[in-house]
Amino acid sequence: MLYIDNLSKFYGRFIAVNNLSLHVPEGDLFGFVGPNGAGKTTTIRMVCGLLCPDRGSIKIGGNSMSVYAEGVKNSLGYVPDFFGVYDNLKVKEYMEFYGSIYGIEDSAIARMTGDLLELVNLKNLEEQYVDTLSRGMKQRLCVARALLHNPKLLVLDEPSSGLDPRARIEMKEVLMNLNSMGKTIIISSHILSDIAEMCTSVGVMNKGVLAAAGKMEDILQLGVNRNHLIIEVGSSMEEAVRHVRELPEVIIDSVMENRIILNMQGDDLAVNRVMISLMTSGVVVRSFRREEQNLETLFMKLTGQAPAGQEASQGGR
């Protein structure tokens, strides 16, 4: 569906997107994650034809963005990271306004508006003034208008930014529903839990570079071949350490009071063998814990910083 090849963008001498290549297959719900300033918005704006790349190419549905720009733009819907100000405009007028930009007939817009509003959980709100909607509702209205021309690809830049938890869940449900209806979706976010829960594939961006990309399960596997095991010991520490040292493929990271932290390669069974070996050796094991590998720990490894938490995203703009 989307092919990005060696894409670069400079702002003056600063490189915001550095030689990025990426393929998003049809039907994917692709999450684009990375800290603020990573280059997500810049990439998305190039994908949507709003910003001209300095190098590289973008193809959507087999058509090059530069050559068939208008046709390509028609095949995608874009939800920007800001909503805009719409004084004295009703929801139905907002939809009419955008529908007319796409060249859709008034009668068709009116017909589609009801269906689209229902799809984004804004049923029967045609007569409501846009300015009176909550932030979450505005974001979903933005999704509805991006769907007016029935694009195959929907691109959303930080759609959950500044939303309260309930509004985030609603947005997530709308996007997962659209994806199940066959839309390919690209969503950028610095909120990892949203991405982890809804996306089928993910790209991690840092300082303009795509640090990792692929199917969610493959990406999570990247860090999984190394396990951190945290073992609390209730008997002689010396004996426990001696025993652990003799285990194959196990490296002791640190030893503190009654706790040993191990680093080892291998799958679940290999971890089980360590546990069994310790427990049958006479060492008293108070607890045996495996540090969880999730998108968050991977993000920290790849970007060297903690992801923004929920609190940080609630400030709004």
Ligand X SMILES: Nc1ncnc2c1ncn2[C@@H]1O[C@H](COP(=O)(O)OP(=O)(O)O)[C@@H](O)[C@H]1O
Pattern 12-41, ligand X, x by CB under 6 A = ----x-----------------x-xxxxxx
- Cβ at position 136, least distance to ligand X in Å: 21
CB-nearer residue toward Mg ion: 40 or 73: 40
- Cβ at position 173, least distance to ligand X in Å: 24
Q: How far apart are CA 226 and CA 250, in angstroms?
A: 10
CB-nearer residue toward ligand X: 221 or 314: 314
- Cβ at position 43, least distance to ligand X in Å: 7
Residues 25-54 within binding reach of Mg ion (CB under 5 A): 40-41
What pairs with residue 14 in β-bridges? 11
- Cβ at position 45, least distance to ligand X in Å: 8
> Helix or strand or coil: residue 103?
coil
Structure tokens at 304: 């060297």
CB-nearer residue toward ligand X: 83 or 102: 83
Among 42, 206, 227, 293, binds ligand X (CB under 6 A): 42
Q: Which residues contact 300 (CB under 8 A, 6 or more apart)?
A: 306, 307
What pairs with residue 287 in β-bridges? 232
CB-nearer residue toward ligand X: 34 or 159: 34
Closest C-alpha among 30, 117, 26, 31 to residue 307: 31
- The residue with its CB nearest to Mg ion is 41
Largest distance between two CA atoms of the chain = 81
Q: How far apart are CA 132 and CA 94, in angstroms?
A: 13
CB-nearer residue toward ligand X: 293 or 313: 313
Q: Are 2 and 151 in contact (CB under 8 A)?
A: no
In the list ligand X, Mg ion, none, the entry touching 22 (Cβ below 5 to 8 angstroms by class) is none
Q: How far apart are CA 122 and CA 132, in angstroms?
A: 13
Going by the DSSP 8-state scheme, the letter that residue 159 receives in this structure is T
Residues 79-138 within binding reach of Mg ion (CB under 5 A): none
Chain residues in the site for Mg ion (CB under 5 A): 40-41
Chain residues in the site for ligand X (CB under 6 A): 11, 16, 34, 36-42
